[in-house]
Amino acid sequence: MDIVVIAQLVTGLATLVVASILIWQMTIQKKTLDVAHKDADNDFSVQIISERNAMRRWFVDKLNPDFEKRLDSGLKDLSEFESNTLAIYFRGMATLTTTEWRLERVGGNPEYYKFAFNALFTHKAILDYYKEIGRKFSKL
């Protein structure tokens, strides 16, 4: 064998070694990114739960028996303060849910989002608000 053939074999072998190392590094990097993505999704889930609970607590703090009765009778029976309170609550909850949908949380499972919106529409006034104003908000 002459020296050129040996040099080509050594170069080819070195190329294979470098390619193997790069593939191994890419595999490690993918595993690291998968773990980071899962951690980020878990953190986001906890943040969403915390934010939903904070919004519910805020809304419940504004409720009194009369306000709750008026929520059941419809949007037209609410005072300006109550309408504003309802609007803030609805927009916050709708924003959280649509953000989750946009980010394809829970794999984009429509049942999760149906449940979330059904839980939001527990009172007639909230449904009235959605029909009159919320649909426009959801198209933004």
Over the stretch 34-80, which tens digit does the pLDDT of each residue have? Answer: 999 889 888 988 999 999 999 999 999 999 999 999 999 999 999 99
Reply yes or no on whether the pLDDT at 25 is more than 70: yes
Give me the pLDDT at residue 82, please: 95
Q: What pLDDT score was predicted for residue 139?
A: 61
Rounded Cα distance, 106 and 119, in Å: 17
d(CA 93, CA 72): 19
Per-residue pLDDT averaged across 22-44, rounded?
93
Say whether pLDDT at 31 is over 70: yes
Determine the pLDDT at residue 13: 95
Q: pLDDT higher for 20 or 136?
A: 20
Q: Is 77 exposed, middle or buried (0-12, 13-18, 19+ CB in 10 A)?
A: middle
- pLDDT confidence of residue 140: 55
User: Which residue's structure tokens are 């609550």?
Assistant: 89
Q: Token pair for residue 74? A: 């419809």
- In the chain, what are the domain boundaries? 38-138
**Predicted TM-score (pTM) of this structure:** 0.71
Cβ(72)–Cβ(124) under 8 Å? yes
pLDDT at 41: 85
Report percent pLDDT > 90 for the chain. 64
Of 111, 113, 93, the closest CA to residue 102 belongs to: 113
Q: Count other C-beta atoms under 10 Å from residue 126's C-beta.
A: 19
